Every structure is written in structure tokens, then in C-alpha cells.
Amino acid sequence: MTLADEQARTAALLDRLAAIGADPPGITRHAFDERENAAHALAIAEAARLGFEVTRDAATNLYLTWPGTDRAAPRILLGSHFDSVRHGGNFDGAAGVLAALAAVSTLRAEGFAPRADITIAAFRCEEAVWFGLGLIGSRAALGMLPPDALDRRRADTGLTLAEHIARCGGDPAAIAPGRRLSPAGPIRCFLEAHIEQAPSLIEAGLPLAICTGIPGNIRHAAIRITGEHAHVGLPRRFRHDAALAGADLFTALDALWTGEEAAGRAMAFTIGRFHTDTTKHEITVVAGDFTLSLDLRAYDATHLAALEQRLHAIVAEVATRRGVTIDLGPRNAAPVGPCDPALQASLAAAASRIGITTMPLGSPASHDAANFAAAGIPTGLLLIRNANGSHNPREAVDPADLMAAAATFAEWLRAEAAA
């Protein structure tokens, strides 16, 4: 079995995943639902082919384990996720699970024997679009799920996260903060491969990057601005315009980003929802209600905390100036995920030994790997070149680049995990 054989097998699996998720104009693999279940079934079939052990935890995260010669040794954990955003692409998350499968399949065909267990994980519900909270599966696996998470409802079904987990065969009653669900015993490290969600590798002309860190984020999914509905002819000095207050927030945050970027402090913010109340808005009505969402992120915990303070100052200033009230609503946060320096070096060396040129690069996006890093588990992340961005139907990964990630993992395991 060669890597070329694995490339053909992986391409066929990607085609089957695309068929599972087909939702023109893109791909939708709903979290904790039939399509994510079907993706897990594909991975289970691969585990059966390879003779690996298959287990699930109470949150229905999937673990495929190649037993080592020393079952008590700290396991090596690799993985990513299968769910997608609505009408997204076929590679976000799935490429990481398939790269790990291709790596271990190659090693098994070579007759490689691992000393410790090697486990491939497919975590549930990485995308925040489903329950307004991201990285749910890996948070649950590590005992990091917020106490209110199980009561969150999926917007399209109206069912709670607990109900969805139970429908998939899980046990929501066993999920609690501080209770680890992932496979028993120590974890030596967690490795993930993920498509890059910016064009940095396209720009650099390289197939892979060794990630240096994953940003933490603060999210407010439903910021509510309340002013006063009024006649279109009302003079400016009498208005309490919620829409203009929303615009002020947007432009103030953009000015903040511009200043931080000029000072060399990496950050980003995204406003994905930005709208008046569709049941009340009219062309001749000053908007008294406005709703927006906010994702604020940075690579350093202290910097992120300072940015949140700036956010609150901006909110207070806009509310006073526009004569409105601004309710930020529920706050969610994901930790900053620094990648382990030793793993960065050894992954880069593994790639170099097989002729793959890489570069160091911070991830612009959150990943399950961030939770492992925050839990104190050494974490490494490979970023795979991807054209046309992510979270859209035009995601485009060259199969050779995906195999470069698989080959790098395989070479790393040869050097680090032999019996």
C-alpha cells in the first residue's frame, strides 16, 4: 500500500462525504443529526477495514484506536470533525479526519507497530452555527462544556443539545464540567490537520504550514440594541436610532482593528448578523430595534481580555451618544490555543525529511485543537493549503496537499511512536 493508493481511497471517501452532505449550492452536514451520523459510519467502516477498536463517549464523539504494544503508555490522539456550516464546503474538518486515517492506514500496510495506542477522533459539532457554541464535542470530551450548553436549542429543530445527543445514542446526564469523557489514561499529545481558512499558503506557494497558535475568542450571538421607533421625518436630535447605533459599533470596532494591526497586535472581529427587526422595519420608520452578532478573537489571553474591555467601553459610548440601550446578551468564549513548540519543531522536521516544505503560521480560526492546548495537552496543528477560503461551497483542496498532511503525520509517527 502506497500513499498514492491512500490518495485514491481518500478521494473516494471525500466523494461519499460530499454525497452525504449534498445541499446545493454547497455541503451541509448537520451536527448531531443523520448526516453527521452517516459521516461517522464511513469512519467506522474504515476502522473495521483496518481492524481498529471503535468506541464512543457520552457525547457520541467517535474514537478509532490502533492498539499499541504497551496499552498503558500515553496514547497519541489525532482527529478533527465532520460537521459543516450550512451550505459550506466538503473539506472543513473532514480533511483532518481523513488525513489521519490515511496516515495510519499507510503505516499499518508497512507493517509498522506502534508502542502506544494511536487513536483517531471525530469530534461532534465543531461549528458554532448549530447551537451558538463552537467546539462542543471536544469541550465535552475534556470536561470543558459550559453548564448551560445542554439546554441550548438548535435553531432549525428547536431541540436542545441534550435531546440531540440522546437521539444520537449518547448520554447527556454523563456530561458535566470537569468530567473527562475522552479515552481513559494519559494523552501524550493531540495532532490535528485542518484546511487553512485564509489564502496565506496559496500566497506562499506551499502545501502545508506548521501552526504556531490558535486564537481564543469571545462571542455574543445576539446583541440587542433598543431605541425608539419613530417617523422618518423626525429631526436627528430627537432620534434614538438603533440601526445607526449598530453602524457606530461596527465602524468603531473596525477602527479598533485598524489600530491594533498597525501596532502589530494580531486580532480580528466578525459581525455575521446585522439587521433590523423584520417584523417591524419599514422604509419610513426609524428603527427602534437592531440585532447583531460579534466574534472577537486574538492569539494572547491578556490581549483578548484587553480587547473585551475596549468593547465594553465602545458599547457604553455608543449607547450614551445615540440614546439607546445595548444588551450584549449571553457571552461565550473559547480559550487561546498555543501550539507546543517541540511538536512544531518535530512536525516541521518530519515534513522536511520527506521533501515537504512548510512555514510557521498562526491559524486565523478556532479548532478543536485549542481545547487540548488549553487543557495542558501538548498540541500540534497542520494547516493545509486551501483555495477560495472556508465555510463556503468553493473550498478547494488539492488531493496532493491533503496527502502531504497525511505523509507528514505518518513520518512523525514513524519517528515518535514505534514499538
What is the pLDDT at residue 2? 67
pLDDT per position as a tens digit, 139-172: 999 999 998 999 999 989 999 999 999 999 999 9
pLDDT at res. 4: 77
Q: Does the annotation list 367 as a binding residue? A: no
Residue 3 is predicted with a pLDDT of 74
Which part of the chain is CATH 3.40.630.10? Answer: 3-215+336-416
Buried b (16+ CB within 10 A) or exposed e, 381-396: bbbbbbeebbbeeebe
Q: What letter would DSSP give residue 340?
A: P
Residues of the chain falling short of pLDDT 70: 1-2
Handedness of CA 153, 329, 29, 187 (dihedral sign): negative
Pick from 308, 182, 207: which is nearest to 256 by CA?
308
Q: Assess contact for 384 and 405: CB atoms under 8 A.
A: yes
Which residues are paired to 120 by β-bridges? 64, 78
Domain with CATH 3.30.70.360 in the chain: 218-334
Query: Would the annotation count 92 as a binding residue?
Result: yes
Three-state DSSP class for residue 337: strand
Task: Report the Cα 295 to chain-centroid distance in Å.
Answer: 13
Sort strands 379-384 and 187-195 into parallel, antiparallel or unpaired: parallel
pTM of the model: 0.89
- Whether 391 has a binding-site annotation, put simply, is yes
Overall size of the chain counted in residues: 419
With respect to CATH, is domain 3-215+336-416 assigned 3.10.350.10?
Answer: no
* Rounded distance between C-alpha atoms, residue 322 and residue 299, angstroms: 33
Query: Residue 162 has what pLDDT?
Result: 98
Backbone CA torsion sign across 105, 108, 112, 116: positive
Q: How far apart are CA 219 and CA 211, in angstroms?
A: 23
What pLDDT shows up at residue 334?
87
CATH number corresponding to 218-334: 3.30.70.360
Contact 75, 372 (CB under 8 A): no
User: Do residues 181 and 175 touch, judged by C-beta distance below 8 A?
Assistant: yes
- Number of helices followed by number of strands (H, E) in the chain: 11, 20
